[in-house]
Chain A
Amino acid sequence: MFVKNFLAGLALCAAIAAPVAAQKKPAAKAPAKKAASTIPAPLLAQGSSVYKQYCLTCHLADGLGVDGMNPPLAKTDYVLGDKTRLTKVLLNGLQGVDINGEQYRGVMPAQATLTDAQIAAVLTYVRNSFGNKASAVSAAEVKAVRAGK
């Protein structure tokens, strides 16, 4: 009886502890998922190329960014949410945001010298990499945001 209750208690502790422990672990490194079939492979390839050239230094190859400095691109509202806001981050840069309760102090410089097509490609790529899955961004959408900014 004594032992049984103790074991039951331990099991309960474990059940409570397990999700907490899981949260503390760094996000599992998801292999770059194949994007939705509607997104053409050449567009993703172009996006990947832009990412490597302009984004990787700060956001790193796994898209998880740098603690306290450069925000993660995986599973954040900034990336998966409003496309206009996301496009403006590239056009205008960004600094000093809190994401998922953590402060990020790195400076994101404006990338306005990229073409509309390059921005559309890289945004589509990050919205469909690192475990993300979201709709594509078109060059026309980028052009509209740039015109209205």
Chain B
Amino acid sequence: MNNNLTRPLLLATALAGSFSLYSLTQKATLAPDPNNAGLKLPAGFGALVVAETGGHARHLAVTPQGTIYVKLNSPKNGKGILALHPGANGKAAAVTTGFGSYGGTGIYAKDNYLYASSDEEVFRYKLDAKGEVTNPAQPEKIVTGLINRRQHESKSIVLDNAGNLYVNIGAYSNSCQVKDRERGSLGRQNCPVLDSAGGIWQFRADKANQNYGTGTRYATGLRNVVGLDWNQQNNQLFVMQHGRDQLHDNFPALYDDKQSAELPAECMYALNKGANAGWPYLYYDGQKKQKMLPPEYGGDGKKLADPKYLDPVAAYPAHTAPDGLLFYTGTMFPERYRNGAFIAFHGSWNRAPEPQKGYYVVFQPFKNGKPSGEWEVFADNFAGTAAKAAAGRADHKPCGLAQGPDGSLYVSDDKAGTIYRIMYTKK
């Protein structure tokens, strides 16, 4: 009985295998999937599914040789980093090769090293001439001992061109209330969270075992940054902040459901050393274009915050969760995209009972290193349908962005684990 069942199964597997080999040889050239991987894109663009990893795929990095490293939020089969090797058709046949036993978000490749973060540490791996990691089991530990209180715990990373590593350390709090997220609880003066979190820390990229003592708090007053990138045009760090939640829940007399869904804006900041973006002492109202005093610190929806804090350079719809930022430096896409920013909006939860929003990749035009002109939705329909987006039940949630050696844009999805490749295909 068992044998009877097994034999046809093996046969079918073998046949299926040879069919897929056959189809591989038939589709050896790079082309978008017939349905553009389910995405809605501007005319001239196409997309394909590189791989279905089945993991919570956070950020990703692509080497100059085309190997894709994907950081998983929790290890899958003991591997927290997947190494994908797409064939000539852009598809990665195997999604199980990997290393790194820790979950996390950050991953970044630069100058023959691959950097990756857990929620407490940053590691780096040596890359060989083929873009392959040579020491998967023995990475150098670059940074250790970062705070993880299981709220805004992801440590996103990026490098500049001077050997520095930037690490986001998110605030383990919504608005630095005495009792986090409790109705009516007031904000703490001299918010103690800011000593070890709520900002961007700078470390050397090549020095082992750095910690808070040896690092520098590069910028503060940032509640939680997940998407960040180094702008090559004006040599500056740009970050996307997740704005605070629950204005209505915590101060129902001051904010109704609708105001709470539309406030505050998600903000892009251009940082210099010493910058202070003002969290928790302000939130940004994208409609008024003003820095507002939060209710935890005596605000009422009308009072302005202390003007001394840094202004954002661009603002986006509230609660849509910008998790990936990438300055596009490739030549595959048309000229207008060059040096502009792509932003992956993971999608909201804190807009209920209003419809949820996000689940798309936005393009923000730039000129001379500054946002210039209105942002636009570039890749849409990660959710699957408008109804799924509105309910917050998206099929896919875009999280990480990376640029391939040919200028393709890669997007990771931490809901279903799909890895997308978006290409410009118009001749």
**B-binding residues in A (CB < 8 A):** 5-6, 8-10, 12-13, 24, 26, 29, 52, 54, 56-58, 60-62, 64, 66-70, 93, 95-96, 103, 105-107, 109-110, 113
A57-B249, A61-B352, A62-B391 given as contacts; is B182 within 8 A of A109 (CB)?
yes
Cα distance, A8 to B414, chains bound together (Å)? 36
What residues on A are CB-neighbors of B392 within 8 Å?
Answer: 60, 66
Q: Are B182 and A96 in contact, CB atoms less than 8 angstroms apart?
A: no
Instruction: List B86-105 residues whose CB lies under 8 Å from chain A.
Output: none
Of A9, A66, A68, A106, most buried by chain B (CB within 10 Å of CB) is A9
CB-defined A-B contacts under 8 Å, sample of 9: A6-B15, A12-B5, A56-B353, A60-B392, A67-B397, A95-B150, A96-B150, A105-B150, A106-B151
Cα distance, A5 to B392, chains bound together (Å)? 44
CB proximity of A51 to chain B, nearest CB, Å: 11
Q: Are A107 and B11 in contact, CB atoms less than 8 angstroms apart?
A: no
A60-B349, A107-B174 given as contacts; is B11 within 8 A of A68 (CB)?
no
Q: Is B302 an interface residue (CB 8 A)?
A: no
Instruction: List B330-355 residues whose CB lies under 8 Å from chain A.
Output: 349-350, 352-353
Cα distance, A69 to B153, chains bound together (Å)? 12
Cα distance, A24 to B15, chains bound together (Å)? 26
Of B16, B153, B392, most buried by chain A (CB within 10 Å of CB) is B392
Cα distance, A31 to B11, chains bound together (Å)? 44
CB proximity of B262 to chain A, nearest CB, Å: 14
Q: Is B244 an interface residue (CB 8 A)?
A: no
Cα distance, A107 to B391, chains bound together (Å)? 21
What residues on A are CB-neighbors of B353 within 8 Å?
Answer: 52, 56-57, 61
Cα distance, A19 to B354, chains bound together (Å)? 34
What residues on B are CB-neighbors of A95 within 8 Å?
Answer: 150-151
A58-B349, A103-B74 given as contacts; is B180 within 8 A of A5 (CB)?
no
Q: Are A69 and B8 in contact, CB atoms less than 8 angstroms apart?
A: no
A67-B415, A110-B179 given as contacts; is B349 within 8 A of A13 (CB)?
no
What residues on A are CB-neighbors of B415 within 8 Å?
Answer: 67
A107-B174, A109-B179, A113-B183 given as contacts; is B349 within 8 A of A6 (CB)?
no
Q: Mark B392-427, 1 if CB is under 8 A from A, else 0.
A: 110001000000000000000011100000000000
What residues on A are CB-neighbors of B9 within 8 Å?
Answer: 9, 12-13
Q: Are A5 and B397 in contact, CB atoms less than 8 angstroms apart?
A: no
**A-binding residues in B (CB < 8 A):** 5, 7-13, 15-16, 56, 73-74, 150-151, 153, 174, 179-183, 246, 248-249, 349-350, 352-353, 391-393, 397, 414-416
Q: Are B12 and A68 in contact, CB atoms less than 8 angstroms apart?
A: no
Cα distance, A60 to B388, chains bound together (Å)? 13
In the A-B complex, the 9 residue pairs with the closest CB atoms: A9-B12, A5-B8, A66-B349, A9-B8, A109-B182, A109-B181, A96-B150, A8-B8, A9-B9
A9-B12, A26-B393, A109-B183 given as contacts; is B151 within 8 A of A56 (CB)?
no
Cα distance, A135 to B414, chains bound together (Å)? 36
Cα distance, A105 to B174, chains bound together (Å)? 13
Q: Are B8 and A57 in contact, CB atoms less than 8 angstroms apart?
A: no
What residues on A are CB-neighbors of B180 within 8 Å?
Answer: 107, 109
- Choose among B74, B393, B416 the residue that contacts A64 (Cβ–Cβ < 8 A): B393
What residues on B are CB-neighbors of A54 within 8 Å?
Answer: 249
- Choose among B15, B153, B249 the residue that contacts A105 (Cβ–Cβ < 8 A): B153
What residues on A are CB-neighbors of B391 within 8 Å?
Answer: 60-62
CB proximity of B4 to chain A, nearest CB, Å: 9
- Nearest A residue to B153 via CB reads A105
Cα distance, A96 to B15, chains bound together (Å)? 46
What residues on B are CB-neighbors of A96 within 8 Å?
Answer: 150
Contacts A62-B391, A67-B397, A107-B180 known; list 17 others, CB within 8 Å: A6-B8, A6-B12, A6-B15, A9-B11, A12-B9, A13-B12, A54-B249, A56-B353, A60-B349, A60-B392, A61-B353, A68-B414, A96-B150, A107-B151, A109-B181, A109-B182, A110-B182
What residues on B are CB-neighbors of A24 within 8 Å?
Answer: 416
Q: Are A107 and B181 in contact, CB atoms less than 8 angstroms apart?
A: yes
Q: Are B352 and A6 in contact, CB atoms less than 8 angstroms apart?
A: no
